[in-house]
A and B are shown apart, each in its own frame.
Chain A
């Protein structure tokens, strides 16, 4: 995987656990952003022609192209909808998150 993974963070219990100085390790993520999402993008891989427009325009870089087809990392997708709006093939649809009411 070419992305940093979520790591578990232990809250400091005493002053001894606090970091020394104002620096800390780079590339550390402790929580997902999935809770921000209202609309969820879903890729229809049969319509996708791999133009990679969504891949390049995603502000969060959550679309993965490594496996030959596009996959969305729903842990970090914020549901902005740029991918769906810009897709020339209309292969990405936005559906409402959570329970669906008909």
Chain B
């Protein structure tokens, strides 16, 4: 268990150029705080690499490598194999990829790396679209969201598909450790990073990172929106270990999704029947969760 007083005062991610109130900023900062100085970071094309490696400014104080969009899994594999052949054992290898870089473009390399069982941590920070290039839809964009490639209007309600479930895809690989987290639940997230650090073999953490710019809410509400999405049941905190899924937080009653949706500009156009459709989808998802993981 991580305690606040044991955390280092050293900032390994500092002075980056992310938008004010960025959820990903919290993720990158806390993850490197837990892992410490002996860490190598892999960054595919994503918000994280864009805001931290603007030459000559390098905001990570630990070694990081920027590579092509689909290569996160392959590069993590290579780093881990390189360290193994050098006989280095106390260095953590971590990759930060966005939701598009994980679920759409990078899924093949990630799947291969997990299958090979190399020792690394893969963090997918999920801001539900390609935010870095200007809010284009990705496989993780939720139903009804307006993005620049799925604009809402008279003929369309925005994104027409529900979110892909990367957590279950990773469970299907029988990965040693997989977890979902949220940037607002910092203790939970840091504990998961700590667990992933100590586990031999691949670990996958899918963390929800609210994006004020892309989702359309004031920057001070980042943490509040992150709490709302877990409380209304559109996101859950769970971890998979030793063949079992453990739910870390189960709200007693799920709050109505309307409050969460209406707090953001990307869902403002939704009518009551669309909100009902989202609520029905959420209920069916939770029925599956209760049936499969909570018995």
Contact = CB atoms under 8 A, between A and B. Distances in A.
Contacts of A60: 14-16, 18, 25, 29
Contacts of A42: none
Nearest to B8: A2
A69 interface: no
B4 interface: yes
Contact of A84 (B22, B24, B59, B220): B220
A20 to B, nearest CB: 14
Contact of B60 (A26, A52, A61, A64): A26
B219 interface: yes
Contacts of A32: 15
A95 to B, nearest CB: 14
Contacts of B223: 57, 82, 85-86
Contacts of A26: 58, 60-64
A49 interface: no
Q: Determine the interface band of chain A, counting residues with CB < 8 A from chain B.
A: 35 or more
Contacts of B19: 78
B56 interface: yes
A28 B15 CA distance: 9
B56 A24 contact: yes
Given A3-B14, A9-B56, A59 B62 contact: no
B285 interface: no
Nearest to B184: A57
User: Which 7 A-B pairs have CB atoms at the shortest separation, nearest pair first?
Assistant: A59-B25, A81-B220, A27-B61, A80-B21, A80-B20, A78-B20, A80-B219
23 contacts: A2-B9, A4-B15, A24-B56, A25-B58, A26-B63, A27-B58, A27-B61, A28-B57, A30-B56, A31-B57, A33-B17, A37-B20, A59-B21, A59-B24, A60-B14, A60-B18, A64-B9, A76-B15, A80-B222, A81-B219, A81-B220, A82-B223, A85-B220
Interface of A: 2-4, 6, 9, 24-33, 36-37, 52, 56-61, 64-66, 76, 78-82, 84-86
Given A3-B14, A60-B18, 20 more contacts: A2-B10, A4-B14, A6-B15, A29-B14, A30-B57, A31-B57, A33-B15, A36-B20, A57-B26, A59-B22, A60-B14, A60-B25, A61-B13, A76-B14, A79-B20, A80-B219, A81-B21, A82-B223, A85-B224, A86-B223
